[in-house]
Structure 1
Amino acid sequence: MAGTARHDREMAMQAKKNLSNCTDPIEKLRLQCLSRGSAGIKGLGRAFRIMDDDGSKNLDFKEFLKGLHDYGLVIGKEEAEALFSQFDKNGNGTIDFDEFLVTLRPPMSNARKDVIMQAFRKLDKTGDGIVTIEDLRGVYNAKHHPKYQNGEWTEDQVFRIFLDNFDSPYDKDGQVTKDEFLNYYSGVSASVDSDVYFILMMRSAWKL
């Protein structure tokens, strides 16, 4: 798989290293997320979604702070206030958390985004913007998986574990959205310096 464990480890180590001399609040938060691996930013998104009781996709400062703390991010109140006001563009006391997560994603070139979306479209057989076990049936062969071969897992279990790679570690629902897929790969992308290498890696992993 393209988001290999090795990339994840390298990225987490790099992020932890960069954290020690980082002063920009957004970059600091981004690095704290990336130090948890590729799914770090997506995990924060899930923590916010759980907090969003009324489904408004907006958070006030109290919810924002609680979301950060629930996710285990170390951030002082003053720093959180500075962050919040950067995202509260219209000054109405709430922030749109989808917008927040997009800003938190490590910057990616259009070439990288294109190849990530090609991979997503290949997986999303039904074209409804969400990848589920059903989508995977014709695309991903579970029969080569060692745990399927030794009878430990069913085909569906192999599919589910595969989807869980892209799902947040805190709330796995067996569905992967375009945004989750992008968030995951923006994490992987952060550990790969060269566009050429990243695109090559995606093409060979997804047989594009």
Structure 2
Amino acid sequence: MDDDGNKRLSMAEFRKGVADFGLDLTDEEVKAAFNQVDTDHFSPCCARALNESRLKLIKAAFQKMDKTGDGQITVKDLKGIYNARQHPKYQNGEWSEDQVFTEFLKTFEAPNTTDGVEFLNYYSGISNSIDHDSYFDLMMRNSWKL
């Protein structure tokens, strides 16, 4: 739904997204739903259920990241998967590799969590914007080299 890519959801973007999902809501209902949107992921009221094939891909991506197999994604897990040295703030000396990894983790997780729940919610939100299973499959396989 974030059409302008600023990582914030405006009311106009949300209204358009609601229409794109085929929901026929009044302005008041759209506003009420918008107020339920969390800063990290959509409220379950707006999400379609993941089918088994999409859930399996999301779990596979998480497992690929979870090198230690402890059910959590940590900086240690990311070493060798995510190349922090390509990040502009690492290249200009502003951040260390660990700082880049920590910021990368924040892309998927709520503050102080790394258990994969937010990772699942993040990709559930993305899944809602992709109509065809084949495209979601392609996107996940290309993104995570599954």
TM-score (norm 1): 0.54
Structure 1's consecutive aligned runs of 4 or more residues displaced over 2 angstroms after TM superposition are: 5-13, 15-23, 27-37, 103-106
Q: Which residue of 2 is the match for residue 204 of structure 1?
A: 142
Q: Which residue of 2 is the match for residue 83 of structure 1?
A: none
Q: Which residue of 2 is the match for residue 62 of structure 1?
A: none
Q: For residues 163 and 145 of structure 1, do their structure 2 counterparts lie closer, same or farther at Cα, with a shift above 3 Å needed?
A: same
Q: Which residue of 1 is the match for residue 119 of structure 2?
A: 181
Q: Which residue of 2 is the match for residue 143 of structure 1?
A: 85
Aligned residues: CA RMSD: 3.6
Task: Check whether the contact 1:34–1:40 (CA below 8 A) recurs between aligned residues.
Answer: no
- Aligned letter for 2:17? Q
| CA-to-aligned-CA distance 1:86-118 (integer Å, 9 cap, x gap) | xxxxxxxxxxxxxxx6x8742111111111011
Secondary structure of 2:95's counterpart equals coil
Q: For residues 161 and 198 of structure 1, do their structure 2 counterparts lie closer, same or farther at Cα, with a shift above 3 Å needed?
A: same
- After TM superposition, the structure 1 = structure 2 runs for residues 144-159 of structure 1, keeping only pairs within 5 Å, are 144-159=86-101
Aligned length in residues:
137
1:162 maps to which of 101, 104, 107 = 104
Q: Which residue of 2 is the match for residue 115 of structure 1?
A: 57
| CA-to-aligned-CA distance 1:43-79 (integer Å, 9 cap, x gap) | x6xxxxxxxxxxxxxxxxxxxxxxxxxxxxxxxxxxx
| Greater gyration radius | 1
- Aligned letter for 1:182? L
CA distance in 2, matches of 1:182, 1:35: 16
CA distance in 1, matches of 2:20, 2:91: 41
> When you count helix as a share of all residues, which structure comes out higher?
1
Secondary structure of 1:119's counterpart equals helix
Q: Which residue of 1 is the match for residue 34 of structure 2?
A: 32
Q: Tell whether 2:31 aligns with 1:22.
A: no
The percent identity for this pair of structures is: 42
Q: Which residue of 1 is the match for residue 70 of structure 2?
A: 128
Stretches of structure 2 that go unaligned for 5 or more consecutive residues are: none
Stretches of structure 1 that go unaligned for 5 or more consecutive residues are: 45-100
> When you count strand as a share of all residues, which structure comes out higher?
1
TM-score (norm 2): 0.74
Secondary structure of 1:192's counterpart equals coil
